C-alpha cells in the first residue's frame, strides 16, 4: 500500500481509503466488521464516515461497535454539517452545533478523538471564521487532530484559507470532492485552489457510482447495482450515451495497456499530485481487494495525457 501526506500536513494516509456510507444502511454490524477487517488487513488506514451516514448515526455506531483495539491503528475521519434531524436545527457550522455534533460522533464511534473532522457542506449562514475557530478549539483540546472540508466551492476554500491565516489558527488540511473520469467539474476552480493552497484532495465517487467498473453496458444494466436500484445516482448525468462512449474508449485503452477499467479509474486519480487518498465505498471484502489492487497502475505523463483526451 502506498502512503501519502494529507495535504501539507504530516498526517500519512493510505492512497486508497474506505468510504463508510454503506455501514448501517446496506450493511449490518457483522458485514461492517468484515469490510473493515479486510481493509485493515490490506493495508488501508483511512476510513471516512459522517454523522449522517447510515440513516443518521448508523455508520458511526456500527464502526464504533466493531473497531475495538484496531481504532488506534487507523486514520478515522468523520464529517458534520448536514441535517441530523427533521427540524433543521441540528446542522451547519456554528460553534454551538459543532461542539454538540463532535460529542455525538465520539460517543457513537466509541473513541476519544477523530483524526480528521470535516465540514460536510457549505453553511452560508455562519461566518467561516466562526467554524474555523470552533474547530481549532477542538484540535487544541485533543478531540480532533486535523480538520477538513467537503463540497465547498472554490471561493469558500480560499476564504477559509485566508481566514485561518488572519486568525493565526489551523486551517483546512483536506478537501473532499466528487471527482472521477466522468465528472471533472472541480478542475475548473476547486482543483487549482487545492494545488495552490495545499488542500489534500480526497476524491469520492471515484467509480462514478459503478459506471467505471465496466459492469454497466448500454443495453444491459445489471439488477441490484446502484445505478439500477437508485435512480438518483443514474440521474447525476452519468448514464448518458456520451458517457457510455467514453467508458467504452477508456476500457479499450486500459486493455491495450494490460490493465482493467477499474485500475485506470484509480490510477488516473492517483496521478493527480494533489490527491492524498481515493475514497471508495465497499459492501464486500472482495471489493476492498479489488480497490487496493487497482491503485497499482502508475500512469506515465503520456498515458495521463491520452486519457485526458478521451474524457475531454
The whole-angstrom separation of Cα 5 and Cα 14 is 9
Cα-based distances in Å from 243 to 257, 309, 310 = 21, 14, 11
Listed in sequence order, the DSSP H helices in the chain are 29-41, 53-67, 95-109, 128-141, 154-167, 190-197, 226-229, 231-234, 241-256, 261-270, 285-294, 301-310
Tell me if 104 sits within 8 A of 78, measured CB to CB. Answer: no
The whole-angstrom separation of Cα 215 and Cα 64 is 33
In sequence order, which residues have a C-beta less than 8 Å from that of residue 231 and are 6 or more positions away? Answer: none
Phi, psi (deg, nearest 5) at residue 211: -65, -30
117 is catalytic: no
Cell for 1?
500500500
Cell for 82?
448536514
* Active-site residue, from 53, 97, 146, 179: 53
Phi, psi (deg, nearest 5) at residue 152: -80, 145
Q: Tell me the catalytic residues.
A: 53
Amino acid at each position: 500500500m502506498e502512503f501519502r501526506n494529507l495535504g501539507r500536513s504530516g498526517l500519512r494516509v493510505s492512497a486508497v481509503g474506505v468510504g463508510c456510507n454503506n455501514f448501517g444502511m446496506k450493511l449490518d454490524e457483522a458485514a461492517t466488521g468484515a469490510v473493515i477487517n479486510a481493509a485493515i488487513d490490506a493495508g488501508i488506514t483511512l476510513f471516512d464516515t459522517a454523522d449522517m451516514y447510515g440513516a443518521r448515526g448508523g455508520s458511526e455506531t456500527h464502526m464504533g461497535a466493531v473497531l475495538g483495539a484496531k481504532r488506534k491503528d487507523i486514520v478515522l475521519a468523520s464529517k458534520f454539517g448536514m441535517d441530523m434531524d427533521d427540524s433543521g436545527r441540528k446542522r451547519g457550522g456554528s460553534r454551538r452545533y459543532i461542539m454538540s455534533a463532535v460529542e455525538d460522533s465520539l460517543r457513537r464511534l466509541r473513541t476519544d478523538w477523530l483524526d480528521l473532522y470535516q465540514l460536510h457542506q457549505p453553511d452560508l449562514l455562519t461566518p467561516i471564521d466562526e467554524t474555523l475557530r470552533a474547530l481549532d478549539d477542538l484540535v487544541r483540546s485533543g478531540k480532533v487532530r486535523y480538520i477538513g472540508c467537503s463540497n465547498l466551492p472554490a471561493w469558500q476554500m480560499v476564504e477559509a484559507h485566508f481566514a485561518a491565516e488572519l486568525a493565526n489558527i489551523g486551517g483546512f488540511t483536506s478537501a473532499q470532492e466528487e471527482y472521477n473520469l466522468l465528472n471533472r467539474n472541480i478542475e475548473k476552480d476547486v482543483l487549482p485552489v487545492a494545488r495552490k493552497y495545499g488542500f489534500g484532495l480526497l476524491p469520492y465517487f471515484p467509480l462514478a457510482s459503478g459506471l467505471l467498473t465496466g459492469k454497466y453496458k448500454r443495453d444491459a444494466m445489471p439488477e441490484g447495482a446502484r445505478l439500477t436500484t437508485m435512480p438518483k445516482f443514474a440521474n447525476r448525468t452519468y448514464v448518458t450515451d456520451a458517457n457510455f462512449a467514453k467508458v467504452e474508449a477508456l476500457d479499450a485503452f486500459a486493455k491495450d495497456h494490460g490493465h482493467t477499467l477499474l485500475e485506470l479509474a484509480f490510477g488516473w486519480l492517483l496521478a493527480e499530485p494533489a490527491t492524498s487518498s481515493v475514497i471508495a465505498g465497499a459492501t464486500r471484502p472482495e471489493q476492498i481487494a479489488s480497490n487496493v489492487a487497482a491503485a497499482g497502475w502508475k500512469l506515465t505523463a503520456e498515458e495521463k495525457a491520452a486519457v485526458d483526451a478521451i474524457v475531454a
